[in-house]
Structure 1
């Protein structure tokens, strides 16, 4: 990071919109309020069901988001130029980035807990088991960047999502007795499939916007990236929590032991305070319930990833490879004079 900060000002070109306005603080507060209210509501619904307070929070977040959008339409210099969403390539790329990051970050959040709390690996060992997945994502992103010069982005993204769907399907077989190898293999497939979509999706978003809107487009893509991660942890984590609680209620129909009803961590703490046999039974049941939540999340993610692959392949099918775009930009306009005509077809200059 220090090297990047030192070399960035010299190596990275900068563009400033001469007509850019000041940041609208009210719009920033509205967007923040909308996001926090929705995520809070989703998390509370997972913990306590569809209660009045979390339901009202979700509804309030949606209404505040609507007010935010209406405000952007009236400002001379909006925080978010909603006209950008009229561009299909921009909207499709942004939606793809949001959902990709949502599933990848959400599932990996649960996977990290699975390795440490269910398989009882230390944080260092869990990180080392996930390191091949990160490396596969880096290699795949570099390879996809080279391939996109000759292949349409829609097909590159679609193939990556199909590969990620296979990774999610592999997680269907996970259980509390599974070793870390199965989780690592599934993570390698997921990262290899979705890392290129996440990395190159930002280029697609910025490239689809007009030059004078490059700054807002880049900001929207980064916000979408962060919001997708937060939303993924909230949604995927909430599904896992709901499945965990349902499984624990099924295993303990007479009542879950005190302190074990909410999370795996609380169950393991409660198990440590019980006699040996009872504590071991509770810990085993809690680990299996958590693994069941991971299974359900991956069971939901795999078919959705296939649907996203089809949608992206359709919506972005008209975007040409980078090499074809460059060739088209280099071609002269019809009827324009050119000196590149074939030999013998050029007119000779008039002789005086």
Structure 2
């Protein structure tokens, strides 16, 4: 494109291609959540122990997060379409294996394979969007559609799973992805371009091993620490960080690294990655305490608590379409920063909730929070991928997805621990001396133990104990949202100063010249 010539606008084929990219995204999101509804049936039919149930749930996320970096770089080398279609077929095969598993061990293995296959899909879809949409405004809209699709999958996963389980056996929840993935594999070659780095070197096997040795223990440690600080959790984090340092040093010495750390030097990429990490971190902790509030303090059923999240997910989907349209008129840095300020304000409003009677406030607050944060995901993801050199867009896509994955886990672990710590410190003086040791320990541990413990006491004493536990939980919730508001406010400042030079989408000006990959000297050197 020269002489100010406008980039070509996408036609019907490109939008069909986006639909093909959205299909695997939707299924991967569903698979993250759909098993929640089927797990009781799985445990009964397969005789899975409590430990095996945890592995059935968690192994998918472990492998998905662990292989993102490898798959993002692999797509740059062998071709992003080839990796996407191969991953779709592998995902369908692993889904069949999961659906017809006959033992817990077989299901765990199938879920692990699903995670590896799922790791091929996110970076591939993200890096193919710029190849389909050259027009900046259409590209921003496409990234918004991608983000909205993932949100819809997360929203409808438990709902679809619950509906299927009313008429079919537990394995049916895995069959949902088979026709979708096969359809993507059939239609994909006709509408998706092939994009690869023809000059890429060979994959370094040791780097792959080191990345897994770093990421998998860190993911395990983060998940374990949500149940309390323990030796396995700390060991996982320490081992992962040590291997992470070794991995980073090796990448700096390789001509063709698995993860090009120079991408972090690009101001736009770095700003968007840290912003998305902050958003996912606060969102993860908030959603955890919301679900606990709905079920344990407000007394909603599991289904009712799930439905209470629907307005927030719907608002996020809408926000991902509105954000790119606003950013076509106003600088995207202003749009994202304003949204983050709105999120921080919502969190401060939530400090006013009470032990009961605040369900509607939380539902509305979460919807506004999600709407305000959606532009960061829709626009930020596009800027992360779009500001990377073309031959490293798959790598950049994996980085964008990693920031969201780790942010959510950190939010549950770190902010969840903050809220829980406040609860435990506050409720300690409210535990009556006459309560049995096990019940007293359960109350001190979390509000989940309060209803059972209250039932062991006389009516008035039990009601007083449960009321004290509710108040202590809300105290923890309030500290969590205050902490979250500080984190989001800091992210807003970072985004404002890091992205304010970018013009509205589809326009160019001299101030934005340093944001392009071609003009960035560090990225030019990396290329």
Q: TM-score range, shorter-chain basis? A: 0.7 to 0.9
* Farther-moved stretch of structure 1 (56-65 vs 87-96): 56-65
* Farther-moved stretch of structure 1 (320-329 vs 14-23): 320-329
Q: Unpaired runs of 5+ in structure 1?
A: 330-352
TM-score (normalised: structure 2): 0.57
* Farther-moved stretch of structure 1 (102-111 vs 58-67): 58-67
Task: Confirm whether residue 311 of structure 1 aligns to residue 494 of structure 2.
Answer: yes
Partner of 1:78: 257
For 1:126 and 1:8, locate their aligned partners in 2 and report how far apart those are by CA, in whole Å: 38
Partner of 2:169: none
CA offsets 1:111-162 (integer angstroms, 9 cap, x no match): 1111111101112222222222222212122111111122211101101101
Partner of 1:17: 197
* Farther-moved stretch of structure 1 (306-315 vs 7-16): 7-16
For 1:261 and 1:10, locate their aligned partners in 2 and report how far apart those are by CA, in whole Å: 59
For 1:7 and 1:232, locate their aligned partners in 2 and report how far apart those are by CA, in whole Å: 38
For 1:151 and 1:208, locate their aligned partners in 2 and report how far apart those are by CA, in whole Å: 19
CA RMSD of aligned residues (A): 2.7
TM-score (normalised: structure 1): 0.83
| More RCO (CA 8 Å, sep 6+) | 1
Q: How does 1:94-133 map onto structure 2 within 5 Å?
A: 94-133=273-312
8 A Cα contact 1:34 1:65, kept in partner: no
Cα separation, partners in 2 of 1:94 and 1:188, compared to 1, 3 Å: same
8 A Cα contact 1:37 1:60, kept in partner: no
8 A Cα contact 1:38 1:62, kept in partner: no
Partner of 2:407: 228
Cα separation, partners in 2 of 1:223 and 1:9, compared to 1, 3 Å: farther
Partner of 2:474: 291
Partner of 1:161: 340
Q: How does 1:37-48 map onto structure 2 within 5 Å?
A: 39=222, 43=226, 47=228
Larger Rg: 1
Cα separation, partners in 2 of 1:326 and 1:149, compared to 1, 3 Å: farther
Query: How far apart are 1:52 and its partner, in Å?
Result: 7.8
Query: How far apart are 1:37 and its partner, in Å?
Result: 6.2
Task: Confirm whether residue 242 of structure 1 aligns to residue 412 of structure 2.
Answer: no
Q: Unpaired runs of 5+ in structure 2?
A: 1-22, 24-179, 514-527
8 A Cα contact 2:295 2:301, kept in partner: yes
For 2:194 and 2:302, locate their aligned partners in 1 and report how far apart those are by CA, in whole Å: 40
SS of residue paired to 1:259? helix
Partner of 2:366: 187
CA offsets 1:297-351 (integer angstroms, 9 cap, x no match): 111112332222122100111222222139999xxxxxxxxxxxxxxxxxxxxxx
- Greater helix percent: which structure? 2
For 2:188 and 2:475, locate their aligned partners in 1 and report how far apart those are by CA, in whole Å: 46
Cα separation, partners in 2 of 1:14 and 1:247, compared to 1, 3 Å: farther
Partner of 2:17: none
8 A Cα contact 1:161 1:305, kept in partner: yes
Task: Confirm whether residue 92 of structure 1 aligns to residue 271 of structure 2.
Answer: yes
8 A Cα contact 1:42 1:58, kept in partner: no
For 2:217 and 2:496, locate their aligned partners in 1 and report how far apart those are by CA, in whole Å: 31
Partner of 2:218: 35
For 2:189 and 2:353, locate their aligned partners in 1 and report how far apart those are by CA, in whole Å: 47
